[in-house]
């Protein structure tokens, strides 16, 4: 059986991106590999094996074009309201909390935030299928 192990995004500034993912999601640098033309930084926390891989292409100065194909990555949390307030307090500009209902029942509570490179991240309340 296959196991998801990481997602990769290209970022302009390593420090800025590591700082964001540490503040927002408690991810820490698990490994860092420096090559001539690029650096790979793997971020994770103790709650999951899944990692966020940051690829920093050296010499790149222009923002990446995210196009219309990228959707989002999602994290789930115990206290969505508390996390929303914490994000706002850190100046991370979370969007408003939304709710989805299906067949009269709550399916999901969530908000979105963007990282420094414009990648969309969904933060979901642990509930139902989102655990």
When the candidates are 3.90.78.10, 2.40.50.420, 3.10.180.10, 3.20.20.60, the CATH number that belongs to 71-131 is 3.10.180.10
pTM of the model: 0.90
Q: Which residue ranges in the chain fall short of pLDDT 50?
A: none
Provide the pLDDT for residue 1.
Answer: 81
**Residue 69: per-residue pLDDT:** 83
Question: Which of 3.10.180.10, 3.40.50.300, 3.40.50.1860, 3.60.21.10 would CATH assign to domain 1-59?
Answer: 3.10.180.10
pLDDT of residue 4: 85
Residue tagged active-site, from 13, 14, 114, 122: 122
Using H for helix, E for strand and C for coil, what is the string for the chain? CCCCCEEEEECCCHHHHHHHHHHHHCCEEEEEEECCCEEEEEEEECCEEEEEEEEEECCCCCCCCCCCCCCCEEEEECCHHHHHHHHHHCCCCCCCCEEEEECCEEEEEEEEEECCCCCEEEEEECECCEC
Q: In the prediction, which pLDDT does 70 show? A: 86
- 62 carries an active-site annotation: no
**Measured distance CA(38)–CA(41) in Å, rounded:** 10
Distance (Å, rounded) from C-alpha 70 to C-alpha 19?
A: 22
Q: State the pLDDT at residue 131.
A: 86
């Amino acid at each position: 059986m296959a196991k998801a192990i990481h997602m990769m995004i290209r970022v302009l500034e390593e420090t800025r991106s590591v700082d964001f993912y540490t503040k927002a999601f408690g991810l820490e640098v698990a490994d860092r590999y420096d090559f001539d033309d690029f650096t790979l930084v793997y971020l994770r926390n103790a709650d999951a094996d899944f990692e966020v891989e940051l690829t920093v292409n050296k010499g790149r100065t222009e923002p990446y074009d995210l196009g219309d194909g990228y959707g989002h990555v999602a994290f789930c949390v115990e206290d969505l309201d508390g996390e929303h307030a914490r994000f706002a307090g850190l100046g991370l500009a979370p969007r408003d909390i939304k709710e989805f209902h299906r067949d009269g029942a709550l399916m999901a509570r969530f908000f979105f935030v963007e990282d420094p490179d414009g990648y969309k991240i969904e933060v979901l309340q642990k509930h139902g299928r989102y655990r």
